[in-house]
Amino acid sequence: MHLLLGQVLSFEANPFSHPATEAARHLSRGAILVEDGKITAVGEADGLRPQHPNVHVTDCGNHLLTAGFVDAHVHYPQTAIIASWGKRLIDWLNTYTFPEEARFGDTQYATEISERYLDLALANGTTTASSYCTIHPESVDAIFTAAAARNMRMIAGKTCMDRNAPDNLRDTPKSAYDDSKALVEKWHGKGRAGYAITPRFSPTSTPEQLEALGALWAEHPEVLMQTHLSEQLDEIEWVKELFPNSRDYLDTYEAFGLLGKGGLYGHAIHLTDREKDRLKEVDASLIHCPTSNTFIGSGLFDMAGLMAAGHRIGLATDTGGGSSFSMLRTMAAAYEVGQLRGTPLHASQLYWLATQGAAQALHLDHCIGNIAVGMEADIIALDLASTSAIEQRTRRAEDIWEALFATIMMGDDRAIHSVWVAGKPATKA
């Protein structure tokens, strides 16, 4: 049993559908009781501490205790090529991504990058992620093995591609199905691992492969399915050429059984009205990747409009098309995108997106993404005065939201004072 003391922030409602400042509960001197990897009590420190006089106590002072960040869309194999210069999506894939991903058939290299990515994620306060791997089953084994060594909750899947990719990065409809099925059976539900069937995007899969993966998802509806949708305008035109009989980009998935409640659709910037309606109808998840969208010049996600329509939305770094491992930087980018659309986001909304919102998108909000009794104890202590620039602004803050917003806009890994994964301090494996 372990008692954490500090400021405590938790969410009691969605700040997009409730008043932003009323959707969260802030305790200026709070306590979180952790037992066997789960949160068993949350309350005022003066009330909880006397009830548990003999437990181990970690006093985080004025640091803010929150749920660990949940990154709903990453490409861990792109860790080493993050921040590669100035290409459009297709050029970026061909120039940087595909040559790097070809290396992941080497188990040793896949293990090295898996461990590096997870250490970087934890250093930035990210305790759960949903990652694309490569076509190599070894790349899936590597990330799940590394996550298990750290006891991290992890979603991942073998990326499937059988066209419009280098020969050494193509599988087939049959091998995509067979390998994915074997990996589902090997990893899904084992410890804190969850599988996601992963066609990269419809331009790199033939109709036959999409159909095979749709059949696999129908056989295993308990797993997630992740892919990309409507990221760039020239990509959408390419999809029209490749699928001339499809009504729109979403239809290239829908026609093959790859549209559903457990679907995670990355980017979703340039959606048609029909696509929006169908995504909402099936309660699919849309994943906003703002640093990637600005870095690669994709466009501005309509957070306000899609939230108002009731869509399920999470936030993500999109490492390494995204330019940072930090969910703080990602929140800042989401704020900037909102400003450019004339709909700025409140600090409460931004932080919810990076924790409970992203957990909801991954259908994991029953166990992660919030500080509440019964949740898994993935917790971070956020230093709201981690640099002199942030500290001087925080001193003038009139409430927790002003203080937190300064860290959202200017913070980095220095703001992550401590991380606990399933109730234990996070350390390198």
Element (H, E) at 175: helix 173-187
Give the C-alpha separation, 329 to 331, whole Å: 5
Residue with tokens 């166990």: 367
| Cis, peptide link before residue 310, omega less than 30° from 0 | no
Main-chain phi, psi angles of 380, to 5 degrees? -125, 150
Q: Which of 118, 64, 151 is nearest to 377 (CA)?
A: 151
Length of the chain, please?
Answer: 429
Element (H, E) at 303: helix 303-308
Question: In CATH, what is the architecture of 2-67+369-425?
Answer: Roll (2.30)
What are the structure tokens assigned to 415, written together? 């703001």
Q: Which of 11, 63, 48, 34 is nearest to 425 (CA)?
A: 34
Say what the pLDDT of residue 322 is. Answer: 86
For the chain, domain boundaries: 2-67+369-425, 69-361
By CB neighbour count within 10 A (0-12 exposed, 13-18 middle, 19+ buried), where does 133 fall?
buried
Contacts of 18 (CB under 8 A, 6+ apart): none
Residue with tokens 């004025």: 62
By CB neighbour count within 10 A (0-12 exposed, 13-18 middle, 19+ buried), where does 256 fall?
buried
Q: What is the pTM of this model?
A: 0.97
Q: Which of 225, 235, 199, 196 is nearest to 92 (CA)?
A: 235
8 Å CB contact between 266 and 289: yes
Rg (CA), the chain: 21
Say what the pLDDT of residue 93 is. Answer: 84
Tell me the CA distances in angstroms from 6 to 219, 342, 345, 417, 418, one per residue in order.
Answer: 46, 35, 26, 12, 12
Q: What is the pLDDT along the chain (429 residues), one digit of tens a residue?
A: 999 999 999 999 999 999 999 999 999 999 999 999 999 999 999 999 999 999 999 999 999 999 999 999 999 999 999 988 877 777 878 888 999 999 999 999 999 999 999 999 999 999 999 999 999 999 999 999 999 999 999 999 999 999 999 999 999 999 999 999 999 999 999 999 999 999 999 999 999 999 999 999 999 999 999 999 999 999 999 999 999 999 999 999 999 999 999 999 999 999 999 999 999 999 999 999 999 999 989 999 999 999 999 999 999 999 988 899 999 999 999 999 999 999 999 999 999 999 999 999 999 999 999 999 999 999 999 999 999 999 999 999 999 999 999 999 999 999 999 999 999 999 643
Give the C-alpha separation, 94 to 227, whole Å: 18
Question: In CATH, what is the architecture of 69-361?
Answer: Alpha-Beta Barrel (3.20)
Conformational region of residue 297, where left means phi above 0, alpha means psi within -120 to 50, and beta covers everything else: left
